[in-house]
Amino acid sequence: MTRVSLTLNGARTEAEVDPNASLLDLLREELAHAGTKDACRQGECGSCTVLLEGELVCSCLVHAAQAEGRSVETIEGLGASEGLTDLQQALVDRGGVQCGFCTPGIVLAARHLLQHTPQPTEGDVRAAISGNLCRCTGYQAIVDAVLAVAAERGQR
């Protein structure tokens, strides 16, 4: 077993994990952060998306040991005690959330986009979420929600 110490959603934590385990395994199985979804295990669907040191990664493709001493942010790190973030609420309000399986990855990808491009174009949004497969929404509601949040934030 390998001990991994990391900052998870702002809190220092550590866990024992198999040396071959992925960051996805560490998050779901050892640290009980089930919001990070387990689907393809090939980095193709985006449902396991997290932020590692502020950058989007598919946690299924990252060895758990690579998180040693680093910062990881999952969907559980957003809005927990305050309720939904404006982005999460916009996705709910505009029908961008249906079955919910892809939602954590999409929220993190959209949040990352808005942090780096506060006033994105529709093309920017589509590119930002292109690594996240959604079988339910058809994407337009997701794009509309992200653009609405950007517009609202721009008016503040």
Write down the residue that tokens 């449902």 correspond to.
47
- More confident of the two residues 73 and 136: 73
C-beta atoms surrounding 99 within 10 Å: 10
- Taking only the tens place, the pLDDT of each residue in 11-56 is 999 999 999 999 999 999 999 999 999 999 999 999 999 999 999 9
- DSSP codes joined into one string, 22-43: BHHHIIIIIS--TTS--S-SSS
Q: Is the pLDDT assigned to residue 81 strictly greater than 80? A: no
Neighbouring C-alpha atoms within 13 Å toward the C-beta of 138: 5
Which residues make Cβ contacts (< 8 Å) with residue 30, sequence separation at least 6? 15, 16, 17, 21
Sign of CA dihedral 119, 134, 44, 32: positive
Identify the bridge partners of residue 3 per DSSP, sorted by sequence position. Answer: 16
**Domain limits, CATH 3.10.20.30, in the chain:** 2-76
* Per-residue tokens: 90: 């916009």
pTM for the model: 0.94
- Taking only the tens place, the pLDDT of each residue in 112-150 is 999 999 999 999 999 999 999 998 888 999 999 999 999
Give the architecture-level CATH label for domain 86-155. Orthogonal Bundle (1.10)
Q: DSSP state, 99?
A: S
Say which CATH superfamily domain 2-76 falls into: Beta-grasp domain (3.10.20.30)
